[in-house]
Amino acid sequence: MSTTRWEDKLAIREVIENWIVFSDSGFWDEFGTVWHEGADMSATWREASADDFMAGRREGWEKGVSIIHALGGTSLDLVGRRAIAQTKMTISQRAEVHGVEVDVVCTGRFYDFFEERDGRWAIVHRRCIYEKDRMDPTTPGAGVDLDRSLLDSFPYGYRHLAYLQTQIGYEVKGPPRPGMKGPEVEALYAQGREWLNDDS
């Protein structure tokens, strides 16, 4: 490669930052630039190709769905033309739940499988690790009466986020997404090691 490792890391971090700015701002043409062809994305509400995920994100945006992301630090492992990037992030979603406007804030990590193709770093697979979340009414002193059985049906790391999303019409289903600990996140780490080891 013509770039140094430091330049590769900067290029990867730029893609990660572009993802949230383009996604959260409705820049749909630009949003397509963060992915390689054939990429896919796994989130609470959709596990699909990048194209299908972007279409769903745009549909939600046009309906007024309020989802905002923020980033923290990134840790990168690079081997040849492949990388695994783990980036601390928060997902903030606002909606009405049982007639009460609430904010859900979920803390976790983006776990990204990156590859350099023709001199361009982009995402091939994006997975989310959900560590913990909470739900707060936006009106001081307000309360919301949650269905405890529904809340407890979702994994700990994203149970409030999933609860809110089911209330606005999304389906949160499939196997549990990775959390801070447990077999799901360990399997994801193993996939990351395999991704790096398979670089040719």
We report the CATH number of the domain holding residue 64 as 3.10.450.50
Query: Does some domain include residue 199?
Result: no
DSSP category for residue 174:
S
Query: Does some domain include residue 196?
Result: no
Task: Identify the pLDDT of residue 1.
Answer: 42
Query: Does some domain include residue 197?
Result: no
Cα 195 from Cα 197, distance rounded (Å): 6
> What digits encode the pLDDT tens for the residues 34-77?
999 999 999 998 889 999 999 999 998 999 888 999 999 999 99
Query: Does some domain include residue 136?
Result: yes
Domain count, the chain: 1
Percent of the chain, pLDDT > 70? 98
- Spell out a b/e string for 94-108, using b for 16 or more CB atoms within 10 Å of the CB, else e: ebebeeeebbbbbbb
CA dihedral 103, 104, 109, 112 (to 10 degrees): -80
Predicted confidence (pLDDT) at residue 180 exceeds the cutoff of 50: yes
Query: Does some domain include residue 198?
Result: no
Query: Does some domain include residue 57?
Result: yes
Query: Does some domain include residue 85?
Result: yes
Higher pLDDT: 26 or 174? It is 26
- Closest by CA position to 16, among listed 158, 119, 114: 114
Cα 106 from Cα 110, distance rounded (Å): 12
Query: Does some domain include residue 109?
Result: yes
Q: Is the dihedral of CA 189, 190, 193, 199 positive or negative?
A: negative
Predicted confidence (pLDDT) at residue 95 exceeds the cutoff of 60: yes
| Block residue for tokens 């309360």 | 143
User: Quick check: 133 and 160 in contact, CB under 8 A?
Assistant: yes
> What digits encode the pLDDT tens for the residues 131-149?
999 999 999 888 899 999 9
Domain containing residue 72: 5-191
* Token digits of residue 107: 């803390």
